[in-house]
Amino acid sequence: MTATTDGSTGAVTPRAASASQPSTTTATTGTTADTRDLAARAIQRSTGFLLSRQDAEGWWKGDLETNVTMDAEDLLLRQFLGIRDEKTTHAAALFIRGEQREDGTWATFFGGPGELSTTIEAYVALRLAGDRPDEPHMAKASAWVREQGGIAESRVFTRIWLALFGWWKWDDLPELPPELIYFPTWVPLNIYDFGCWARQTIVPLTIVSAKRPVRPAPFALDELHRDAADPNPVKPQAPATSWDGVFQRLDKALHVYHKVAPRRLRKAAMNSAARWIIERQENDGCWGGIQPPAVYSIIALHLLGYDLGHPILKAGLDSLDRFAVWREDGARMIEACQSPVWDTCLATIALADAGLPADHPQLVKAADWMLGEQVVRPGDWSVRRPELTPGGWAFEFHNDNYPDIDDTAEVALALRRVAHPDQERVEKAIERGVRWNLGMQSKNGAWGAFDVDNTSPFPNRLPFCDFGEVIDPPSADVTGHVVEMLAVEGRSHDPRTRRGIAWLLAEQEPSGAWFGRWGVNYLYGTGSVVPALITAGLPAAHPAIRRAVRWLESVQNDDGGWGEDLRSYRDRGWVGHGTSTASQTAWALLALLSAGEREAASVERGVEWLARTQAEDGSWDEPYFTGTGFPWDFSINYHLYRQVFPLTALGRYVNGEPFAGGSGHFAKGS
């Protein structure tokens, strides 16, 4: 028996359960048989490559590459704590120097422009490593920093790091009082108004902000000021009638409060914040499975008297070492996060869709590992959903406090593809995951990544929050993945699924694309949403699907691939445009294939591009960043994306859609 998933409701018209309607476009690049033969050979090589990368425990994890601020801040932390050693410093400096651009700057993504705060932090790290200011690479960097306005124009987080060593004045930083921990959830700017990643960082920083520590600076940084005599020139305030003006004046009031805050209240607030931090430390010592909260939590607790030998700090410091990737040349790169659950579910989907038998031992082992990673205790999400039973999956090895909706949806889709010997265990795990995801739906019918209705307009207004996203509103890519999962589970007709579908249709851009929150950018959004809508029952002839197809074909590169630069988040001229990459080409193909365009010239050209650019060992090379932590501000190169998404696309090209019309051989109950 197979689940029916036509998903008809309102503007959503049911389609035949057989398959998407094929395109009548004639291929112009070679015969279909030739292309499918190329694809089959590429699948064989890629499958072998991916299987060889699985850990003995059953998981996959590719490097998660971001930018050198991770490495610079790791050195600054070690300097602050007095534990910086020569080996670590040399290895970090080797990596940081290798990332410097010809103009002396550092970028936040491959091929991107120089970025001021990143360049300042990299420069300071190299000073710690012993690089002299008059060396050509350093002089070039400092000259560029001065041209951009110097340290005064850098982001708040950079200036906090400098304030720890007296290179910047605490009085010249936005205030963040620890009494924030006492705000009830109905008060604006309570800690749960912030996205989970921001919340985990802000709580420890309230302690740091209250303590205002200064360690002796090992050198001066006058060369990084536009005018060393006046390093922080006064800037005009925004009008008092504007939101920016209101929050600037609120910050001034908080600076006054810092001087008169009742000592007992402040001490109690810092202790409450410390308890909040300690309660959220994971079993491996990290916080939320990501590096920045761990760094600031260690500093905050140390300032409150926890010595470095205390079990909490010792475990925290040990966890940071696990974020280090040591390269063959001796360089050391720090990952901001690690992605084993995400990588494992995507790898499982790729291998299954490529034709690996559902009972293959390595797929069963992957399913076993994923089943063991299900989060079965409440986390911060339960503040807004106290009655909801846990059942999600997180992104990382250890992150029971913050499972996410996206991973939960994709893990369920992956588990549904595996013929596990304990099928009852699988069914129960998927049922818990589905129930949890449904309970995490926001009131507009869509889904965010970690929280429900995390949409307050106020956190982004704070002068402190001048870098990246600090809230977690629903997004098309996450909502698309949830809708796809619900459809596969036979819930296309569920009113909650139909609300998600309606939201997605309303969010489509006039061009036909969808915005990508967690991947770059409209190619990711469109590649996530179109397969979801088709699986949920929209016919391939639906106007929304046809608009998406036309847009994808209009932005295909001359070489047959697809690419989109991160600059599309700021400049509409870059939307859908960029150097062809393996992952982005695959996203476009996934959308086109689900829309019934298997015989289209655009699909054949895309498949041929993937086959042509594949290395002999079955891998693809992709230096470009196609993932995001924060759109534009914090970019990610997931090293496994270049492997799993092309294999998925090639597999579906050769083998067909796994859940076509809800009747695919992987659908629930088959």
Residues catalogued as catalytic: 406
In whole angstroms, how far apart are CA 500 and each of 201, 261, 531, 536, 587? 31, 47, 14, 10, 21
Closest to 350 in 3D by CA, of 650, 89, 63: 650
Taking a C-beta distance cutoff of 8 angstroms, is the pair 191, 199 a contact?
yes
The Cα-based distances of 468 to 157, 197, 502, 592 in angstroms read: 11, 11, 29, 32
- The helix-helix angle for 582-594 and 543-554 (nearest 10°) equals 150
Instruction: Say how far residue 520 (Cα) sits from the centre of its chain.
Output: 10
Nearest to 12 by CA among 501, 514, 513: 501
- Torsion sign (Cα): 611, 617, 620, 622: negative
Token pair for 510: 């006039």
C-alpha separations of 388 from 413, 495, 636, 641 in Å: 22, 18, 32, 32
The token pair at 618 is 């079955």
How far, in Å, CA of 616 to CA of 650, rounded? 16
Of 340, 341, 339, 335, nearest to 323 by C-alpha is: 335
- For the chain, the distance separating the N- and C-terminal CA atoms, rounded to the nearest angstrom, is 5
Closest CA to 282 of 305, 310, 316: 316
To which H or E segment does residue 637 belong? strand 634-638
Phi then psi for 464, rounded to 5 degrees? -65, -30
Residue 546's H or E segment, with its range, is helix 543-554
Distance, CA of 285 to CA of 315 (rounded, Å): 4
What's the CA gap between 142 and 148, in Å, rounded? 10
User: Parallel, antiparallel, or unpaired: how do β-strands 627-630 and 324-326 relate?
Assistant: unpaired
Query: Where would I find the H helices in 61-135?
Result: 69-81, 86-98, 116-128
Instruction: Answer yes or no: are the C-beta atoms of 250 and 458 closer than 8 Å.
Output: no
